[in-house]
Amino acid sequence: MNTQSNQNTPHFSTQTMQSNEETTHFGFKTVAKTEKQQMVAGVFHSVAEKYDLMNDLLSFGIHRIWKRFTIDCSGVRKGQKVLDLAGGTGDFTAKLSRIVGRTGKVILADINSSMLEVGREKLRNLGVVGNVDYVQANAESLPFSDNTFDCVIISFGLRNVTDKDKALKSIFRVLKPGGRLLVLEFSKPIFDPLSKIYNFYSFNILPKVGEIIVNDADSYRYLAESIRMHPNQSILKEMMEEAGFEQVNYYNLTAGIVALHRGYKF
């Protein structure tokens, strides 16, 4: 794991990221902005029930290490209020609930009702009750008051948001002064040989596994494409700074296949 700042060259230009008012990308396709949210919803309705299984299979279990590192970097303490945004099946919520304790609160928020329901059932089965609330919410317009949370974590969710700049500003608004945002997301490998292997795996193996396990190759093909269209390490850092975050840095995990960005609101 190594800390980076501006060493990586963006893998696409800022101009590519700035879609016009009417269109955006859905994987490699150009679609109307008004349609993307519904299209992404269809993907996650499809994969929700076997989302955890697929995470373990496709990452060989390494996602658990990435998530543990994120928790360690979060600085979350007993009694704090945390937003697990795009929290899906609740992996972070389960861990955060134990950390904040009975005097704290964790909100598991996701735009997708199927993912949220799977997360709710999973956490109940684990006995996680009392200090967790569930909210169906759009990251671009969070339904919370200003200065509500000590920490916001969004894990493998930002790349699916239609307007990432708007979402980052919305997150900034709901954080307390001194609060921090952590973004765990797929990014750009820092070694070219690894990039080639990763590309082959993403576009050949991943959809095949999706077809076998979930009977849905298309959804996993979209997920692979969405990773390639997501801002690389340096660009996402700049976007966070433009949204108001300070002391933004990032950590390359597994040679940049995943990156953890962290920024503060002062």
| Residues of the binding site for S-adenosyl-L-methionine | 89, 110, 138-139, 155
Question: Which residues define the annotated binding site?
Answer: 89, 110, 138-139, 155
Strand-pair category, 105-110 with 132-136: parallel
Count how many residues are written for the chain.
Answer: 266
2 DSSP β-pair partners: 252
Q: CA 262 → CA 20, 29, 71, 114, 216, distances in Å?
A: 28, 30, 12, 28, 33
Label each residue of the chain as H, E or C: CEEECCCCCCCCCHHHHCCCCCEEEECCEEEEHHHHHHHHHHHHHHHHHHHHHHHHHHHCCCHHHHHHHHHHHHCCCCCCEEEEECCCCCHHHHHHHHHHCCCCEEEEEECCHHHHHHHHHHHHHCCCCCCEEEEECCHHHCCCCCCCEEEEEEECCHHHCCCHHHHHHHHHHHEEEEEEEEEEEECCCCCHHHHHHHHHHHHHHHHHHHHHHCCCHHHHHHHHHHHHHCCCHHHHHHHHHHCCCEEEEEEEECCCCEEEEEEECC
